[in-house]
Amino acid sequence: MKRFIENRWLIGLAAFALTAASYAQWSNPADDVPAYHPAAPLKVSALPPILTPAQLTGANARYPWQLHVYQLAGKIGNVLYQLPCNCRCDRALGHTSLRSCFETLHGAECSTCAQEGFLAYRQTKLGKTPAEIRALIARHAYESIDLEQQ
């Protein structure tokens, strides 16, 4: 009887270890990074254009920050291509990078995208690389940007 209890305990421990290992595999934060491209595009002309402020109308042009972020995005499209978007529009909308948000109206509708756009522009002007900006996005540094002050 004692041997049966010991074996049952070992089987339970093994089952627990396997379960824990499988959860660790699915919850790896490194695997949960939103979509982005690791390098600049080879042919910018092959990408959809970033919308201009003049193309925003109605609710997408209600606030000054909406127009301003698209103006800035047009200046750093190659950088935006190399950045993820933490609103997870890669899952919901099929976006492949932060640039995708500004190729559509999404950047004017989503505060996360807009804040990340402003962050990317500022950091690019400060000489930061896309990899350094990605690290700031991962740390949610964009959350301190007040869109009403842009």
Q: Report the C-alpha dihedral over residues 108, 111, 115, 121, rounded to 10 degrees.
A: -10
Domain that holds residue 7: 1-32
- Mean pLDDT of the region 39-48: 90
Same domain, 79 and 97: yes
- How many distinct structural domains can be found in the chain? 2
pLDDT at residue 37, rounded to an integer: 94
Whether residues 11 and 52 share a domain: the answer is: no
Quick one: pLDDT band at residue 23, thresholds 50, 70, 90? very low
Q: For residue range 107-133, list pLDDT tens digits in order.
A: 999 999 999 999 999 999 999 999 999
Band (2; pLDDT cuts 50, 70, 90): low
Tokens of 122: 């500022």
Do 118 and 101 contact (CB within 8 A), yes or no?
A: no
* Global pTM value: 0.79
What six digits make up the tokens of 45? 């002309």
> Is 63 in the same domain as 42?
yes
The token duo for 93 is 């909308």
The rounded distance, in Å, linking the Cα atoms of 148 and 11 is 59
- Shared-domain flag, residues 14 and 45: no
Q: For 139-150, what is each residue's pLDDT tens digit? A: 999 999 999 999
Token couple for 48: 């959809």
Mark whether 6 and 60 lie in a shared domain: no
Higher pLDDT, 43 or 69: 69
| pLDDT value for 81 | 97
Q: Is pLDDT above 70 for 88?
A: yes
- What pLDDT, in 10s, does the model give residues 47-86? 999 999 999 999 999 999 999 999 999 999 999 999 999 9
